[in-house]
Structure 1
Amino acid sequence: MLNHTPIDIPFNFRHTCWFCGEPSSKSLHFPRQASKTSQHTALTLPACRECDAIKYPSKVNSIWVLRAYLKQALITKYTKHLAIGENWTEQELLESGFSGALLGGFGDSAWQMYEIAKQRIAFEGWPLSIDDLPFYTIDDTSGFEYNETRFSSLSTCIDFFVAATGVDHDLLTQLIDIVTPNRFDYALKIAKLNKRVSPTRRNQIIEEITAQEDEKREAEFERLAQSTINDAIIDVEVSGTIAPAFAIQWAMERGAKSLFELCPLEDEYFDDFEHLGGAAAFASYNGLQLYLKAREDQAWIDANDPNKDLWRE
């Protein structure tokens, strides 16, 4: 016989389901049967009739895993309710006059049904304790959170939005692969703009977004490269032309201490600074040439080169 220990219930949460916040009418025993894989003592928690009735697999080995499983079950069951808030705002519903079948049969109560479902999914329960002693078992469940809703995984989140908003599954999945799950909102917006997409158009969108992301990554790489310029290196003016610090550092890093040593590196220089644009890249290279030419005169170095000590390092 498995002995279950009841958790403490704060006064303001009496008669409240620990899993979803609905009024409780049942006592959920976890685990229901003795299990060698259970990570903590057997517990009894207040639950609503619906949460208590959800069947869960034997691999569920902690109260935290159970909570995540029940939440996902509720998300799946109430997809139509949650979809209301994904497709409309409350004000839009009031102004539209939609009712009946257009709102999943919810009619005038549509927004209320959405809010109830959303609150149940978002409900966190209260901190667990037994006889006023904190329950220290760590919640180590993984998942994916978006828009204040925690899904059991990224794939279940994708499945939800496919069902709730009618977006193309393959398009949304591929977009997330490109922009990463951290930018799920961006991927979802693109998918919503292209719901009924043909395979050809889907491929075009993927190619466009891939190109955009590649450009962003290149720009970020260049920005970081620029930000790593040695602060000790100073721009130098020679004959009214500026040799910029980044160009001087570039020459230092390649051991080009003279105009003679710089000449074979000309193509490499313009490849590296192509992002500056032709005119700016040429101006910076011209300044570098004049600077290295001036450095052939030791007297000029001693009198005018603020970077002279850095060339010796």
Structure 2
Amino acid sequence: MTQYSYIDIPFNLRHTCWFCGEPSNHCVEFPKTASLFAKVGHAPIALPACKECASVKYAKDLTSIWAVRDQIKHALIDKYAKHLGIGENWTEQELIDSEFTGSTLGGFGRSAWKMYQIAKQRVEYQGWPLSLDNIAIEAYDETSGFEFEGTRYASIHSCIDYFTKAAGVDKELLSELVNIVSSERFSYALRIAKLNKNVSNTKRLAIVDEVLLQESEQQEILLEQANAMFNPNIEEVSVAGSTAPVFAIQWALANKVEDLAQLCALEDDYFDYFEHLGGPAAFMSYNGLQLYFEVRQNAEWVEQSDPNKQYWPS
């Protein structure tokens, strides 16, 4: 029979659920199966949990306790989406001023904000650092999941599902908007979705088209601003059968790249900036720029053959 060891528990948290902060009277044992013991990097552990968190059915093949926590958090977010949604649709003062009356609405007005606060505290609870016999257990992978306004979701799709339930936004619209503006601008996409709940298909398409147009226009503005930084007098340079195009040399000058070492250090930035060219074209331009910097190490070549010598720092 597998022996699970309890994690180290601070004295003041000895009756606290590690997952949500509620009083604990159960435990979660990890990993679930003996076949995973060698993959988790530590001895089998037991974590104090409340009845609700302990009852969540998480995937059996998980090899990280943090992945388990994310799935349990997602289950709580999904279950209490309506409670959490109170904070999405009301402020505390609005509930106080709402003048709800009657046995049902009156009770909602009095208890709603407290329900929201309890649910929010549970999903945002971080637990204490994990250790076993004073030996630290793996740190949390911050790159996993998706975090928005202090709450970590299992994925961007889980976050969209949550706001669909909690705030009543149109799931298809929010998903389309996130695809357009990226998850980094989720708050912007959500703001538009909240202003356009219960939209028709025609209205949804119109909103998506409008946002696409706005994003396209914004990209054009940024491109114009970037071009304004570039020297229009630059000439392309051919070296050993490869060409350093004008735009690549302009980019190097604008980013104060003066030699091959600096160019190599900014390689990722270069390919990110010229991602729109596609892989082969971006690589060919970068290769030409590399050869240009290599030959520029020859002072005689620079003096006799570099058409852009006056634009480089001396």
Question: If the length of structure 2 is used for normalisation, what is the TM-score?
Answer: 0.70
Instruction: Please tell me the residue identity of whatever aligns with 1:123.
Output: Y
In the alignment, which of 134, 137, 140 is matched to residue 136 of structure 2? 134
Q: Partners of 2:206 and 2:139 in 1: how far apart?
A: 49
SS at structure 1 position matched to 2:232: helix
- Which of these residues, 185, 188, 196, is aligned with residue 187 of structure 2? 185
Superposition pairs of residues 1-313 of structure 1, within 5 angstroms: 1-36=1-36, 38-39=39-40, 40-98=42-100, 106-136=108-138, 139=141, 142-227=144-229, 229=230, 249-253=231-235, 310=310
CA distance in 2: counterparts of 1:101 and 1:221, whole angstroms: 57
Match of 1:286 in 2: none
Q: Which amino acid aligns with 1:11?
A: F
SS at match of 2:147: strand
Sequence identity (%): 50
Shift of 1:101: 5.5
Change in 2 beyond 3 A, CA 1:25/1:162:
same
Native 8 Å contact 2:98 2:109 kept in 1: no
Gaps of 5+ in 1: 230-248, 256-307
CA drift at 1:3: 1.1
**Cα separation, partners in 2 of 1:310 and 1:192, compared to 1, 3 Å:** same
Distance in structure 2 (CA, Å) of the matches to 1:254 and 1:54 = 62
Question: Kindly tell me: are residues 87 and 18 of structure 1, through their superposed partners in 2, closer, same or farther at Cα, counting changes over 3 Å?
Answer: same
How far off is 1:127 after superposition? Answer: 0.5
| Offset from partner CA, 1:68-120 (integer Å, 9 cap, x none) | 110000001111110100111111111112366669x7441111111111011
In structure 2, do the counterparts of structure 1 residues 29 and 252 end up closer, same or farther at CA, with 3 Å as the change threshold? closer
Per-residue Cα deviation, 1:10-50 (whole angstroms, up to 9, x for no partner): 12212111011111111322234423364132101111111
Pair 1:8–1:197, CA change in 2 (3 A): same
8 Å Cα contact 1:28/1:52 also seen in 2: yes
**1:19 & 1:177 partners in 2: Cα distance?**
31
The AA in structure 1 aligned to 2:147 is: E
Q: CA deviation at 1:140?
A: 6.8
Q: What are structure 2's unaligned runs of at least 5 residues?
A: 238-307
Asked if structure 2 preserves the Cα contact closer than 8 Å seen for 1:6 and 1:44, the reply is yes
> How has the CA–CA distance of structure 1 residues 28 and 141 changed in structure 2, closer, same or farther, with 3 Å as cutoff?
farther
Amino acid at match of 1:25: N
8 Å contact kept, 1:8–1:132: yes
Give secondary structure in 1 for the equivalent of 2:28.
Answer: strand
- The structure with the largest alpha-carbon Rg is 1
User: Structure 1 residues 80 and 251, CA, compared in 2 at 3 Å: closer, same or farther?
Assistant: same
Q: CA deviation at 1:219?
A: 0.9
Matched letter for residue 119 of structure 2: A
AA paired with 2:232? W
- Structure 1 pair 253/62, CA: closer, same or farther in 2 (3 Å)? same
Distance, in Å, in 2 between the alignment partners of 1:310 and 1:56 is 65
Superposed CA RMSD in Å reads 2.6
Contact 1:15 1:46 in 2 (8 A): yes
Q: 1:75 to 1:102 in 2, by over 3 A?
A: farther
The count of aligned residue pairs is 240
SS in structure 2 of the partner of residue 35 of structure 1: helix
